[in-house]
Chains A and B, each alone.
Chain A
Amino acid sequence: MANTIKSWADLKSLETKLNKGKDPKQRWIAVCIGPGCRVYGCLEVYEALKQEMQKQGVGQIPVKGTGCHGFCERGTLLVIYPEGIFYSRVKVDDIPEIVEQTIKNNQIVERLCCVDPKTNQKIVYEKDIPFYKYQKKLITGNNRKIDPTSIEDYIAIGGYSAFAKSLFEMTPDQVISEVKTAGLRGRGGGGFAAARKWESSRKAQGDPKYIICNADEGDPGAFMDRSIMEGNPHSVIEGMLIGAYAVGSSNGYVYIRHEYPLALQYATIAINQAREYGLLGENILGSDFSFDIKISRGGGAFVAGESSALMQSIEGRVAEPRAKYVHMAEHGLYNKPTVLNNVETWANVPLIINMGSKEYTKIGTENSKGTKIFSLVGKINNTGLVEVPMGVTLRQIIYDIGGGIKQGKKFKAVQTGGPSGGVLPADKLDLAVDFDRLTEAGSMMGSGGMIVMDEDNCMVDVAKYFITFLQEESCGKCVPCREGLKRMLEILNKITDGKGEESDMQTLDDLSDLLADGSLCGLGNTAQNPVLSTIKYFRNEYEAHIRDKKCPAKVCKALIKFQINKEKCTGCNLCLKNCPSNAITGQPKQKTYEIHQNKCVKCGICYDVCKFDAVIKE
């Protein structure tokens, strides 16, 4: 094949060729076509920009559709380099002006610039935006430089050189030792030392050995792996190659969740390209090392993200976890030695080799090295993906980067770690975020979801949400998990229905112990965290539900009622029209509207549709 890279020298010369004549001062434009911006219609913006540039005679300036830039709240994002002029909330209609003003005449289109919330000044450049200023984008930073469907873009920024360096300058043991010294811990949930898995698998007997990338990002509220897979898939493949070389594996799998069709598409393109360029397959770069990757699609089961269950799923079976005394590193996929890491962990590997463990360990805290990507979502001003060094505080993430709580409301809690994690209150805001501190506080790192909640969120409802989720997703193999979660949900339902009893919190506590001790996998072992952490930090809310039969946040249906404020009502009839249970009566344009409590199902639609805040929750 014409493009095959046959040696390290070939790879270097391709990189040189791709960068030849590239002037760092050359102008180019990046349009984010990541998952958040896609929802805002970025693809139309991207196409419109290309067409408009042709039309205005500047079609020679490169335009790239890139992966996620992180600042999803302000999508569609358009950045003009080399200056880094940052335009947000860009719509198709803005394109002619951007091309005319900025691209042709170096004038700033001010209305598309972000505003500094503190000074109310417009911010022109990406580097000055608070959302980016406090981040350290080691893993996600390249997203904005490359087209994820182009292997040449990745090679041009030095891609695959870490793998080549490992292959030709390091022994497998040296690679493992480098990753060990770097202190790389798994970014998928448990935070297990990656090098320890690699080492056991390297030493284990059995052939073939497998390398798996877990891209079954099942934690609701987390999308960092999706953004890497859709933004820089080659960095994951390169990490897997380095891992495969270190472990002595020739077979790899990427297990991608069914809900991420685009990640599947981009991973497929990337793997095919790597194969075409000779970076996957037999005798890679002219060495005697061979490795190839297959893709396996998930089927929409949360528990399949658990490593042993995932392997069952790849084998074509129901994704049920198995006991942990059998180590995956020795008896994993098809009962062979297997190393499984998640997307973000693999993407860290080339970085460690390139930087060297000495530099890498300068980032982070004593036992948590490097950066961590969080999906900062919920009731926060700047929602999006943020990458920060381990050890920054929750306050820095939520206030400095996230810009605080939406609509000036009061911060109540932040939920980290997905369904296995916990909820942390305001007095934990100065907690330095790393694997160990989060666990100590009763939550966990998990895969990096960070869901911010304000005064309108009910903590009992949040606990109920997670238990509902987990009891649906429990595979049913272990009785404590299957039955225990159902009973916990019953109790939580009882509490939110206003029928709670004083003894309920103790029963929840007892059931929690049972789950932790009697379940095989992480789903059951940690399922009690959302309940225990909300009881620990928000006991008063439980008590208000149980003793006073009140939901302080006005969320739990059985404990609230909707009424119409006749002063504010304009008689627009919208509530009546949308009421599913015909509980509202009234005459249009007259202030006679009324909600009949005996018919009201408390769906909240009237509250939501009213434009005049005339529907009140009590």
Chain B
Amino acid sequence: MDLTKVDKILEHHKNDRAMLVAILQDVQDEFRYLPKEVLNYVSQKLEIPIPEIYNVATFYKAFSLKPQGKHICSVCMGTACHVRGAPVILETMKSHLKIEPGQTTPDNKFTLKTVNCVGACAVGPVADIDGVQYDNLTARNAITLLKKIGKE
């Protein structure tokens, strides 16, 4: 594990323990999850007890303690998407990928997540795959979409 990257992040935030959420966000951006070694390292460096770090790391949805798949697919479960059929989209994706939300496929290609709202309410149901939002999903086009992205 390359901890020099973590040093840079800590330096950027001036080793300030009040910046813990921001530091963990940068770690998450860098490693795409929060590796245990890094959390221990941050704990030592900032003199924050490890339970406190886990308290923050498990409280916020943006953090993941497990490595993520190559593609992160977040199905929007916001109200507007819900009333326009988001539950069916989630069911479809679950059955196509054969995983539950929060899990990663065994080939590490996809991580399936749910998100409470991505603010694209006018064009729902929406899923965000690797930062790109796909609108007006149906069970049919959701499967086509996953197949297409899976080939990349």
Contacts and interface: CB of A to CB of B under 8 A. Distances in A.
Interface of A: 35-36, 38-40, 72-73, 75, 217-223, 226, 258-261, 296-302, 313, 315-319, 375, 377-379, 383-385, 415, 418, 449, 451, 453, 457, 462, 465-466, 469, 473, 475, 574, 578, 580-581, 603-605, 608-609
Interface string B108-152: 000000011111111110100001011100111001000000000
B117 A219 contact: yes
B22 A317 contact: no
Contacts of B123: 36, 39-40, 72-73, 75, 383
Contact of B119 (A259, A608, A609): A259
Nearest to B85: A608
A449 B20 CA distance: 32
Contacts of A73: 122-123
B17 interface: yes
Given A316-B56, A319-B59, A580-B91, 13 more contacts: A39-B134, A220-B77, A222-B121, A223-B121, A299-B24, A299-B59, A301-B59, A316-B22, A377-B80, A377-B121, A379-B84, A473-B116, A603-B88
Interface in B35-83: 55-56, 59-63, 77-83
B139 A608 contact: yes
28 contacts: A35-B120, A39-B133, A73-B122, A73-B123, A221-B79, A222-B121, A223-B120, A259-B119, A299-B60, A299-B61, A300-B60, A300-B62, A301-B60, A302-B116, A316-B56, A317-B20, A318-B55, A319-B60, A375-B80, A377-B79, A377-B124, A451-B83, A574-B140, A603-B95, A604-B88, A605-B139, A608-B138, A608-B139
Contact of B17 (A226, A313, A316, A465): A316
Interface string B8-26: 0000000001111110110
Contact of A259 (B21, B95, B117, B134): B117
A580 B95 contact: yes
A74 B108 CA distance: 37
Contacts of A580: 91-92, 94-96
B80 A301 contact: no
Contacts of A226: 119
Contacts of A40: 123, 135
B75 to A, nearest CB: 13
A42 B94 CA distance: 30
A218 B78 CA distance: 10
A221 B88 contact: no
A297 B28 CA distance: 13
Chain B residues touching A, majority SS: helix
Interface residues of B, number: 50
A317 B53 CA distance: 9
Interface of B: 17-22, 24-25, 55-56, 59-63, 77-85, 87-88, 91-92, 94-96, 115-124, 126, 131, 133-135, 138-140, 143
B80 A451 contact: yes
A299 B62 contact: yes
A341 B72 CA distance: 33
Which of A38, A313, A318 has the most C-beta atoms of chain B within 10 angstroms of its own C-beta?
A318
A313 B22 CA distance: 10
Given A220-B80, A375-B121, A462-B83, A315 B18 contact: yes
Contacts of B133: 38-39
Contacts of B22: 296-297, 316
Given A317-B20, A465-B79, A384 B91 contact: no
Contacts of B121: 221-223, 375, 377, 383, 449
Contacts of A581: 95
Contact of B118 (A259, A319, A377, A415): A259
Contacts of A220: 77-82, 116-117
Contact of B143 (A259, A296, A457, A578): A578
Contacts of A449: 79-80, 121
Contacts of A465: 79, 82
Contacts of A261: 131
Contacts of B139: 578, 604-605, 608-609
B19 A375 contact: no
Which of B60, B85, B116, B135 has the most C-beta atoms of chain A within 10 angstroms of its own C-beta?
B116
A300 B114 CA distance: 11
B37 to A, nearest CB: 21
A603 B92 contact: yes
A39 B91 contact: no
Contact of B116 (A218, A317, A462): A218
A426 B144 CA distance: 38
B45 to A, nearest CB: 14
Contacts of B143: 578
A536 B79 CA distance: 20
Which of B81, B84, B88 has the most C-beta atoms of chain A within 10 angstroms of its own C-beta?
B84
Given A72-B123, A301-B61, A605-B91, A316 B83 contact: no
Contact of A316 (B21, B96, B116, B122): B21
Nearest to B20: A316
Nearest to B82: A465
Nearest to A319: B59
B124 to A, nearest CB: 7
A180 B82 CA distance: 39
Contacts of B135: 39-40
